Amino acid sequence: MEKLRKLVLNHVLSQNDWMSSRLKKFHNKTILIKISELSIFFKVNKKGLLEYISQVKDPDASISMPINSFINQIIHKENKGITIKGDIDLAKEVSEILKKTKWDVEEDLSKIIGDVAANRLGILGGKFLNESKKVTISIAEAFKEYWEEEKPLIAKKTRVQQFLAEIDNINEDVERIEAKINNIALKISK
């Protein structure tokens, strides 16, 4: 399984040889991409291309994120909850490159089934992925609304703000009562 993953990742990365001019300056540097418990290691080869490699003890840079941050990055293009350590320039460059890396599935399919069939499958696959993304977002929004309204597991921002305002009011009331008690205590002690 490890060999297959390495073969596929390196194949996809080699299809994106435009990255070499950006990465040549990081030759032989290693980077860890960690998404929750999944760890993937890369090395910049002498051609300036990323290569999937086995685990490295001390990578030159690391990018870590929980799975929800990874999903938000894919769906909403949000870069929240990401931790970068080590060589910041390397991590930033690799992050930008991985966002733009595309697998040319049609090119690979054309070698097996021909150009026309590969093109048509590519179009169908694109439509399928686009619709799948829409359905996934719709389902996620429905769950969010359900958890906010029907079974409140998630608090709406307005409810949290209202709760915090009520706490502030209680604090002010307690401070006023405390001041009155101190005033009364001073009058009694005189």
Close Cβ partners of 60 (under 8 Å, ≥ 6 residues apart): 26, 29, 30, 31, 86, 87, 90
Among residues 97, 86, 89, 93, which one has the least CA distance to residue 64? 86
Which among 26, 15, 161 is positioned nearest to 89, based on CA atoms?
26
Model pTM above 0.85 = no
pLDDT of residue 2 exceeding 60, the answer is no
Q: What are the boundaries of each domain within the chain? A: 2-103, 104-153, 155-190
Regarding predicted confidence, which is higher, 113 or 7? 113
d(CA 53, CA 30) in angstroms, rounded, equals 9
Percent of the chain at pLDDT above 70? Answer: 74
Which pLDDT band, with edges at 50, 70 and 90, does 29 fall under? very high
Specify which residues 41 forms β-bridges with. 32, 53
Average pLDDT, the chain: 77
What pLDDT, on a 0 to 100 scale, did the predictor assign at position 11?
60
CATH node for 2-103:
3.30.1050.10
